[in-house]
Amino acid sequence: MDIDKKIREELAREQQELRQNQRPDASLFSMLGDAYKGRLGGWMVLMSIIAVLLSGLMLWSGYQFFFVVESVHELIRWGVTLLLSSMMQIAVKMWTFNEVNRNALQREIKRLELAITIQGSRQDVDV
């Protein structure tokens, strides 16, 4: 038997095993759910509450800015409140999705560690 053919068959068999062991990539909602179950789950809950509160503040200040304001002083106050609440909302969302990204990265690193461990144990048996 040709050595190249043996190598190809072995590589195909290993790739098939890896495909069977890997689950498909998670959706955004399942990744968000995993972030709530992770180490910083309590912080995720707190950030979600803050995001809801900021959304309410943003809607209220937007309504006040565009429809209710009677003086320039109030216009400036509600405009600044609208801008600051939207910027804080962006910061909270960035933190949340960075946490989701961190969890996904940790999962990929663990997959690589598992693959390296399995490969190392196979080489130990072959030798």
The tens digit of pLDDT for each residue in 24-83 reads 667 888 888 888 888 888 999 999 999 999 999 999 999 999 998 889 999 999 999 999
Of the candidates 103, 98, 57, the one whose C-alpha atom is nearest the C-alpha of residue 80 is 57
User: End-to-end distance of the chain based on CA atoms, in angstroms?
Assistant: 21
Average pLDDT, the chain: 86
Side chain identity, residue 26: A
Contacts 24+ apart (CB under 8 A), 111-119: 111/22, 115/18
Give the separation between CA 20 and CA 87, rounded to whole angstroms. 44
Give the separation between CA 97 and CA 116, rounded to whole angstroms. 29
The pLDDT value recorded for residue 77 is: 94
| Residue 87 pLDDT class (50, 70, 90 cuts) | very high
Please say if the pLDDT value at position 1 is more than 80: no
Give the separation between CA 40 and CA 77, rounded to whole angstroms. 35
Mean pLDDT over 106-117 rounds to 86
| Residue 8 pLDDT class (50, 70, 90 cuts) | confident
Please say if the pLDDT value at position 127 is more than 60: no
56 near 121, Cβ under 8 Å?
Answer: no
Please say if the pLDDT value at position 21 is more than 80: no
Give the separation between CA 87 and CA 13, rounded to whole angstroms. 52
